[in-house]
Amino acid sequence: MSKPRVLLLGAPGAGKGTQSSRISDEFGVDHITTGDALRANKGMDISELGFEFDTPGGFMDAGELVPDEVVNEIVVTALDNADGFVLDGYPRNIEQAEFLDERTDLDAVLRLAVSEEELVDRLTGRRVCPECGENYHVEFDQPEESGVCDECGAELTQREDDTEETVRERLRVFAENTEPVIDHYAGTEAYAEIDGEGTPDEVWEDVQEAIEQRA
């Protein structure tokens, strides 16, 4: 059996990163995440493109989308090297979805549905390890020692775009740009909506079952 090609859709904080890691481990596929790739290249000089900000970091800290030219390039390179994948954080607008459709088929397109207030709680309470990338939450997923990563012992930090003001802007950008992407895939055989409000283990049961039914 060939490895599954999975697209995970959902608002900021819906649990895409959390569930993508599990999909990657369970099915042995690449985790392609534009957010992490862009964070690793936050200071890249994109001034020649003539947009409002000269680096990806400028767009990200404001909660806006990074230009398609930059993001599409990241995804093409990653797809070319992948034997099965889970895509997390892409596509985020219709232009990116059309770009993706021309390059690959998808076995499963899963939308994680979570209410807005829950999203705000999750994101403003998220803490991340700057060394190994592990995610925590001040209430739902605390490290053993307060403020310290269980995996590598580094001091946990808050993502710059996880302040309440920027989170609200990210949710606005999601409603405007990414809700149409969900409509674009809804109704296809690959599509399923998953209740994302249970515990990570409960959500994982539904995610795993939906992939196994489609792959």
Residue in 42, 87, 94 with CA at minimum distance from that of residue 66? 42
d(CA 181, CA 92): 7
CB of 205 to ligand AP5, least distance (A): 11
Active site residue 170: yes
Specify the residue, 111 or 214, whose C-beta has the smaller distance to ligand AP5.
111
Active site residue 42: no
CB of 28 to ligand AP5, least distance (A): 20
For ligand AP5, which residue of 9, 46, 60, 100 counts as binding (CB under 6 A)?
A: 60
Per CB under 6 A, 72 contacts ligand AP5: no
- Residue 142 neighbours by CB distance under 10 Å: 14
> Of 111, 122, 127, 159, which residue is the catalytic one?
159
Distances (CA, A) of 200 to 24, 57, 101, 145: 15, 29, 29, 21
- List CB contacts of 55: < 8 A, sequence separation 6 or more: 42, 43, 44, 45, 46
> In this structure, what token pair is assigned to residue 192?
């399923």
Phi, psi of 39 (to 5 degrees): -60, -35
Select the span of 9-17, 78-86, 180-188, 206-214 touching ligand AP5 (CB under 6 A): 9-17
Instruction: Consult the annotation and say whether 147 binds a ligand.
Output: no
Residue in 21, 66, 26 with CA at minimum distance from that of residue 42? 66
CB of 213 to ligand AP5, least distance (A): 21
CB of 182 to ligand AP5, least distance (A): 13
Distances (CA, A) of 85 to 4, 27, 28, 123: 7, 9, 8, 25
Instruction: Consult the annotation and say whether 34 binds a ligand.
Output: yes
> Of 16, 111, 122, 214, which residue is the catalytic one?
16
**For the chain, what's the residue count?**
215
The answer to whether the beta carbons of residues 142 and 136 sit under 8 Å apart is yes
Annotated binding site: 13-18, 34, 39, 64-66, 89-92, 96, 126, 129, 132, 149, 152, 159, 170, 198
Catalytic residue set: 16, 92, 126, 159, 170
Residues interacting with ligand AP5, by CB under 6 A?
A: 10, 12-18, 34-35, 38, 59-60, 63-66, 71, 89-90, 92, 96, 122-123, 126, 135, 137, 140-141, 161, 170, 199-200, 203
